[in-house]
Amino acid sequence: MSHTILLRGKVVDKGKMPEIIVSPKGMSEERRNLYTNSELFGDKGWTKYHSDWYELELAFKDLEPKSLLNVGLGTENETGKWLGFIHNIMPSLKSFCSIELNQQLITAKFDSENAFYNNLYCCDVRHLDILANVEEMDVIFWSHGPEHITRPEWEKTFAILERTANKAVILQCPWGNGYDWMSEHVSKSVRKGEFEKFGYHTLYNGNEDTPYAGILAWKIK
């Protein structure tokens, strides 16, 4: 399979990557704050997740990351919500880029006014290192993703994330079997201890084995 990279509407061949002049970094304060106070979150949703993620906020308070790479694009609500939480926890972030394997999801974001979707690449997370010289990545955020690759692939993929990120990696996935019915979840029923063995600090929230249970894991370099 060819690992083509789609650069915000321009398809760039992987073999030419070293020659690429990177897409514009940074953004206006107005654009960066577009979703920070959006109705997308609402007081109820933000309060719930912010309290669950308090440990993450404490862990990152002195890092002051400037750039974030997000892995995976879902609906505007899903992706925007999680990136909004991250941005509130890390207000020092100034540039964002995302990778996604589904080109249709990327194309759907081309006209988005959300600053989180400024720079979009078609790329498999298992080959993320091909972007290492193209984008600055202080923090890599992979939300609801580890369950989409097999467990034997975790070690190598996590190592790529950790090697590529300048400062930290954040992982998130369902806790237990609440989403095991989804065929695209090939690593089902993720349990306590599975991310810890790779050296991640881990937080569990919700009720295990329900759709409302999540695992939040992070590693700071």
**Tens of pLDDT, residues 121-138:** 888 899 888 887 667 789
Least confident range of 16-25, 100-109, 150-159: 16-25
Q: Torsions phi, psi of 165, nearest 5?
A: -70, 140
Beta bridge partners of 56: none
Higher-confidence position of 173 and 27: 173
pLDDT averaged over the chain? 76
The share of the chain scoring above pLDDT 70, in percent, equals 73
Give the CA distances from residue 162 to residues 40, 116, 140, 159, 183, in Å, rounded to whole numbers and listed in that order. Answer: 30, 21, 8, 5, 28
Distance, in Å, from the CA atom of 207 to the CA atom of 185, rounded to the nearest integer, reads 19
* pLDDT tens-digit series, residues 37-64: 444 444 434 444 445 677 888 888 899 9
Q: What DSSP string describes 79-136? A: HHHHHHHHHHH-TT--EEEEEES-HHHHHHTTT---GGGSEEEE--GGGGGGGTTTS-
Residue 45, classed as helix, strand or coil, is: helix
Tell me the average pLDDT across 1-26: 35
Contact 94, 168 (CB under 8 A): no
**Tokens linked to 101:** 């394997």
75 or 84: whose pLDDT is higher?
A: 84
Alpha-carbon Rg for the chain, nearest whole angstrom, is 17
Q: Which CATH class is domain 28-220?
A: alpha beta
Tokens linked to 182: 């989804």
Higher pLDDT: 7 or 203? It is 203
Least confident range of 8-22, 67-81, 174-188: 8-22
Residue 28: what pLDDT? 38
Q: d(Cα 188, Cα 93) in Å, to the nearest integer? A: 32
What would the mean pLDDT of 93-112 be, rounded to a whole number?
83
H helix or E strand, kind and range, residue 47: helix 42-52
Separation CA 163–CA 93 (nearest Å): 20
Write down the domain spans for the chain.
28-220
**For 151-180, how does the pLDDT look when each residue is reduced to its tens digit (9 = 90+)?**
999 999 999 999 999 999 999 999 999 999
pLDDT at res. 129? 82
Task: Note the maximum CA span of the chain.
Answer: 49
Percent of the chain with pLDDT over 90: 36
pLDDT above 80 for 22: no
Lowest-confidence region among 3-7, 10-14, 93-97, 118-122? 10-14
In angstroms, rounded to a whole number, what is the distance separating the alpha carbons of residues 201 and 214?
14
Global pTM?
A: 0.79
106: closest CA among 91, 95, 117, 90?
117
Placement of tokens 């609801």 in the chain: 144
